[in-house]
Structure 1
């Protein structure tokens, strides 16, 4: 089933030119209203910087998970990416431009290319259990939206605030990487948690067909390198697809972990829903200019990923089996599907 997202220009697939709404939209270059976008209307942004009706602000809206707020002005829209770590950011929301034949496809890892979300939620659960000193601890169903789709530190900080406010993020990260390092080594050695990494249904056929069409391929993940690369390597072995570094034109991760005795790279503050990972994959990894973004699509299963794509100016395609609905970001998608065959049909329709 293909769900045509409702947003700027009404119901549409990404292969249909969108109408210009800059003169009428409450959120220019984004959508007609909070309701049309499936967002929650708000009187002001969470930091109090912008208020509906003040200083030229037409409206304020927020995603269902509260991670991104949109501020609509007469001729432009700003996006406020909130942060539990104390470093929020504002971004201009770019237009998507007219759809063009697809030159590149960017894809998320966890939940999109690989089904491993349950494994990483389990690692968060194990880390929290270690903080509590309770091996029988289990997360609640209501925690799932807060421990998936964002950065490791944000996941851990949420658990600390709810279950063990007397513990530090530093302690939580130490336990997290102890569990991760143990499990990654076990998996690469042929053991580990059974069924941790499973190829998404139809992913092999989809990737190979894109490659045969000459479409550039980018893998983009908010996961740190030490947890992300073993995933895709393991899945490529399962699928008998060789070396992922040779297959993809670009693999962008959130970097490497900061820790005593080793050098880390930026990984916890700039991941999705910030646009930087997708922007880097587009311009640096694939060598495509910002002006070529209309010929690129991004495939995601999480609300954070959908927002990251949209803020990078890339047309988002959402998979229905992720947390897009729960995060309240479905209206930001320009296409929602159940499988890769439907995406391929749309790509071919563009010529």
Structure 2
């Protein structure tokens, strides 16, 4: 196996511990607007790792609710602002894996379905923005994950072959995007529902420390 030259990280649930943040903001909205009560396990199974457009489509098509992406954007963004997104913590060993890769001379990029404002708020608060050579955010692409477009754009930015780059993802949505672009992949998740979906992924680990150990064999 050839040595890797770049690692591209997902953001939510991979580098930052944001899924509970999103759940605690969406759950009251779903209850108030649609009388839909969900648990955190429901959130992980049905909504986590997807774009706003996907989740709104699910509410309309699967649940039969009358809403729009524009309306849910306003409701969720207002909730995020009140909840202070800058309070979101890093996943364990996030700083350590980024430092290891930077010191090893590996290119580092971020490929996320979140908007740049979220990236700047959360990673900026933790002083991690300078670790990344570039950011592919929701504004950058027409078709977000699971479409391969975000990772193909990242590969264009790097001017590297896909098989020399590794994506770090935590959901099947992001994993499909990376694999569709021809990249190597490490899936990092403890969620059993997510691990059961990742049947096409060869490398599944529970945390970033294990991902770092695996990467060290490929550098």
Q: What interval of TM-score do these two structures reach, taking the shorter chain for normalisation?
A: 0.7 to 0.9
Q: Is the counterpart of residue 339 in structure 1 residue 212 in structure 2? A: no
1:300–1:318 CA contact under 8 A, matched in 2: yes
Q: Is the counterpart of residue 314 in structure 1 residue 205 in structure 2? A: no
Alpha carbons of structure 1 residues 179 and 345: separation in structure 2 relative to 1, 3 Å: closer
Q: Is the counterpart of residue 139 in structure 1 residue 38 in structure 2? A: yes
Encode CA deviations 1:139-168: one digit per residue, 9 max, x unaligned: 144353221111112113323455562334
Alpha carbons of structure 1 residues 233 and 126: separation in structure 2 relative to 1, 3 Å: farther
1:90 paired residue number: none
Distance in 1, matches of 2:85 and 2:71, equals: 24
- What's the CA shift for 1:307? 0.5
* Larger Cα-atom Rg: 1
Alpha carbons of structure 1 residues 181 and 345: separation in structure 2 relative to 1, 3 Å: closer
Alpha carbons of structure 1 residues 119 and 187: separation in structure 2 relative to 1, 3 Å: closer
SS at match of 1:217: strand
1:249 paired residue number: 133
Aligned counterpart in structure 2 of residue 215 of structure 1, from 103, 106, 109: 106
Distance in 1, matches of 2:21 and 2:133, equals: 27
Distance in 1, matches of 2:209 and 2:68, equals: 45
- RMSD between superposed Cα atoms in Å: 2.4
The number of residue pairs the alignment matches comes to 217
1:199 paired residue number: 90
- What's the CA shift for 1:324? 2.8
Alpha carbons of structure 1 residues 227 and 128: separation in structure 2 relative to 1, 3 Å: farther
- What's the CA shift for 1:229? 2.7
1:175 paired residue number: 75
Distance in 2, matches of 1:221 and 1:123, equals: 20
Q: Is the counterpart of residue 120 in structure 1 residue 19 in structure 2? A: no
Distance in 2, matches of 1:347 and 1:166, equals: 46
**Which protein, 1 or 2, shows the higher relative CO under an 8 Å CA cutoff with sep ≥ 6?**
2
2:98–2:131 CA contact under 8 A, matched in 1: no
- What's the CA shift for 1:302? 0.5
Q: Is the counterpart of residue 110 in structure 1 residue 12 in structure 2? A: yes
Query: Could you tell me the TM-score, scaled by structure 1's length?
Result: 0.56
2:119 paired residue number: 228
Distance in 1, matches of 2:4 and 2:65, equals: 48
SS at match of 2:110: strand
1:315–1:334 CA contact under 8 A, matched in 2: no
1:128–1:160 CA contact under 8 A, matched in 2: no
- What's the CA shift for 1:214? 0.3
